[in-house]
A and B are shown apart, each in its own frame.
Chain A
Amino acid sequence: MIQFRNCTKLFDSKTILRNISLEVNEENSFTSILGKSGSGKTTLLRLIAGLEKLNEGSIHIKGKIVSEGSKIIVPPHERNVGFIFQDLALWPHFTVYQNIEFGLKQKKIAGYKSIIMQTMNEFGITDLKDNFTHQLSGGQQQLVALARSMVLQPEILLMDEPLANLDVKLKTQMRKLIKQLVKEKKVSIFYVTHDHKEAMEMSDKMIVVNEGAITYYGTPEQSIYFDSTFLKEFIEV
């Protein structure tokens, strides 16, 4: 589904990702991108989204080349990819309804009003439709961010540590909801986290990034037996 071929990414002269090659074939699955702070995991996610340009290599989504060298071949909005930012990026001057409406209007989808109502209903946020985002709790904001992305029916949903600021109880609820999304909406999730326990618990597959290279790609269960000192230390085996 997603292929990285010899991808290198530099910021100024610092190498963030070094000659990465990876193929993720599982559809409708939950893949965690795990690593320490500054390891390059968010950059990996932003490269899939098309928000960053590569320096070398190419990225393919569903067999189609989307980025090559320093060129963005398919722009972010044509990749059919959703993105949940770490700060959620809910526009403060829009209501909940307007936040969700924005993308549908852009894509000129007919009958979008009923789609919005249906999505808000599914996420249990219908009552909040006229609220501004600062009037919502942390959990409600998460739901709006998810609804805003999912209303566009993306095939891939990229999530950049979206639960980092939630308390334990809310985190557990949101994790359940996200897992449910994978099943019901048939979406593949790439989920950046630095919490190995969260990754082990939620993922079908894990990508472990360390110092710009991919140390491990496989199931959480197999990772315990993988021969890497870094990985063993990181996941506290």
Chain B
Amino acid sequence: MGKTINIKTILLLVAGLFSAAIVLPLGALLFGTISGQASEVVNNITSIFHGDVLQSIGNSLIISTAVSILSVLLGCCFAFLFSKANLPFSKALRLLLLLPFLLPSYVICVAWNDVWLFADVHRNLIYSLPAVVFILTTIYTPLAAFIIQAGLKNINAGMEEAGMMITSYKEVFIKIVLPLLRPALFSSFILIFILSLSEFAVPSFLSVPVFVTEIFTQFSAFYNYSLAATQSLILTAICLLLLFPERKFLTNEYFFPFGKKAFRFRMYELRNKSVPLVLAMLYLFFTVLVPVAFLAFQTFSVAKTSLLDIVIMLLPSLKDSLLIAVAGAFIVTLFGFIFSWLTAQYKLKFLQTILLFVFAVPAIVTGVSLIFFYNTPSLSFIYSSILIILIAFSTRFLFIAVKIISDNLRQIPVSYTEAAKMMGARSFYIFRKISLPLLGEALFTSFFIILIFCLNELSTVIMVYPPGTSLLPVTIFTRTANAPQHIVSGMSLVALMFTLVILLCMLFGKKVLFNQQWRESR
């Protein structure tokens, strides 16, 4: 018994220290900003009403609103087609739809730039706000579809069927399905709003001034740290305000539909499958395949360019990125499990709420706060090593890992562990023999998703990467300013292939590792 208590105490302590490492910098940023000289604080706050800053805030809000609305609408259509209607090839189409979300946003941006330059689109249109909205919509539509799909799968067929006994399916959809789907719709809207508000790479590449790029400029170009910190807090406040009424939905909603379905699920036979199939294929052809094809075309259009040369050039970055991302994904998944387990064991729901708030903090603000907190003599050993990147990854992605793992943990009936307890199995043995095999797939999925996110993360790491570290997103992004177009495209193509290889490894690994017969029932 004593041993069990010790393990639990140690886990709580470790989780506490880890939380402190990711939460304290944000607290310190807040404290540091408001405890400055009053006149400076007032000046910094009033500076947001200056023309340029105000315009950047306006652009940020317009982009976020438009992207959220469009992504949710499109995501809703795809979620319905892929999960409720028996659309042919839906598995392949779903994977294709997911691709832009899993690829680095700067890669998508470079690809679209290639398409538009080839099509001779006017530069004012390429480097414009609608272009940012378009690209971000293609990136975030899969996320909306993913969340809404999970919401649809949690609607018991009985509820729909009871309605269908009384009225037409159209009425049932409006009066029953949509209200039941409201949390998923609302959650995806808020989540996409926050993510697009924090997006750095796309507006920066297309030279559209947004609030995030304004903060980055103040920090990196003008070295006006106090103004950057104040602006960071304003941006965070916007995100947190949006999140506050939604935290209930976001913390309780099943985002990731892994594991078995909770209920009997009703499918719908489309009267005419060809029209939605053609529309879906056209959308995916133009938003996924065309830009990727143009990336390749642009790379090889210059005879001198060899993909191998580009790979050799990027080799140090590829190596560093992979090693750091693997370490990051391992740590985030490990702590994701510890946090999920502690939440389930001690009903510590507030842990998830804290992580959600940390997740909602824009990436650039996370970067600023980490610099403010760790760039001190006593903590410089963290700041000057890859530890700072690992902390940045944890701050950004721990919530996602906790969501994936705890959603699966919740699906394991308590009676499974109780039955083992009744037979005298010790806690660690129960964990090893019962919980771990049942959670294995979720841990694996979490590891790979976080690995992809870590590989693609730019907004935070561009601010904190220590000297001597060469990360792929940073290398590509910094070279976009002065490298020829075909080299930028080539580097983006390498990054794309790199992500695809990892995705394929994940799919293959899943097939090999989790092919046990008993999983058929799940």
Contacts and interface: CB of A to CB of B under 8 A. Distances in A.
A93 B518 contact: yes
Contact of A82 (B415, B422, B517, B519): B422
From B416, B418, B424, B425, residue with most partner A Cβ within 10 Å: B424
Chain A contact-residue range equals 20 to 34
A86 B416 CA distance: 11
Nearest to A98: B433
Interface string B412-448: 0101101111111100010001100110000000000
Contacts of A106: 423-425, 429
Interface in A72-108: 75-78, 81-83, 85-87, 89, 91-94, 102-103, 106-107
B419 A92 contact: no
A132 interface: yes
Contacts of B425: 77, 102, 106
A76 B434 CA distance: 18
Nearest to B425: A106
A134 B1 CA distance: 34
A92 to B, nearest CB: 5
Given A85-B419, A87-B413, A92 B518 contact: yes
A93 B438 contact: yes
B521 interface: yes
Contacts of B413: 87, 89
From A81, A103, A152, residue with most partner B Cβ within 10 Å: A103
B419 A134 contact: no
A177 interface: no
A103 B424 contact: yes
A132 B521 contact: yes
A93 B1 CA distance: 27
B516 interface: yes
B520 interface: yes
Contacts of B517: 132
A166 B507 CA distance: 39
Contacts of A224: none
Interface string A176-212: 0000000000000000000000000000000000000
B50 interface: no
A132 B517 CA distance: 8
A178 B425 CA distance: 26
A82 B522 CA distance: 27
B474 to A, nearest CB: 43
Contacts of B518: 92-94, 132-134
Interface string B26-70: 000000000000000000000000000000000000000000000
A77 B421 contact: yes
A83 B433 CA distance: 19
Nearest to B421: A76
A51 interface: yes
A76 B424 CA distance: 7
A49 interface: yes
Given A89-B416, A134-B520, 15 more contacts: A49-B422, A75-B1, A77-B424, A83-B419, A85-B418, A85-B419, A87-B413, A91-B419, A93-B438, A102-B423, A103-B424, A106-B424, A106-B425, A133-B521, A152-B423
12 contacts: A75-B1, A76-B422, A77-B425, A83-B418, A83-B422, A91-B420, A92-B522, A93-B519, A102-B433, A106-B424, A134-B521, A148-B419
- A-B residue pairs, 9 tightest by C-beta: A134-B521, A77-B424, A103-B423, A89-B415, A85-B415, A89-B419, A132-B518, A106-B424, A93-B437
